[in-house]
Structure 1
């Protein structure tokens, strides 16, 4: 799995951080997503998929084939 984020789309809702704090964080000044792990371990894949699914701005892309 390879994860990418589009900071320009991010609205700072923070759902990704709540669901997968080992993979996502937020900048202090504006709440925009920060990707901590672009290739998370398998045990985090379900949480990353859920974070991408609930992102209101669709700023998270998950490539299952990478």
Structure 2
């Protein structure tokens, strides 16, 4: 595993560590988990397209 240096604004530099600690994780573990769970814009579009239901009678609620 390689290390990386990430520069972030001073105003928010403690926030990722606070979030990681709230989950009981190190900052490294939290960022690794975040990287594995976030979707790229392309992957997000693919998932959205797969969930789309064609409009029509199949999407209408039955009348009572």
Into which bin does the TM-score normalised by the smaller protein fall? under 0.3
TM-score by length of 2: 0.26
TM-score by length of 1: 0.25
Greater Cα radius of gyration, structure 1 or 2: 2
- Structure scoring higher RCO (CA < 8 A, sep ≥ 6) equals 1
* Larger strand proportion of the pair: 1
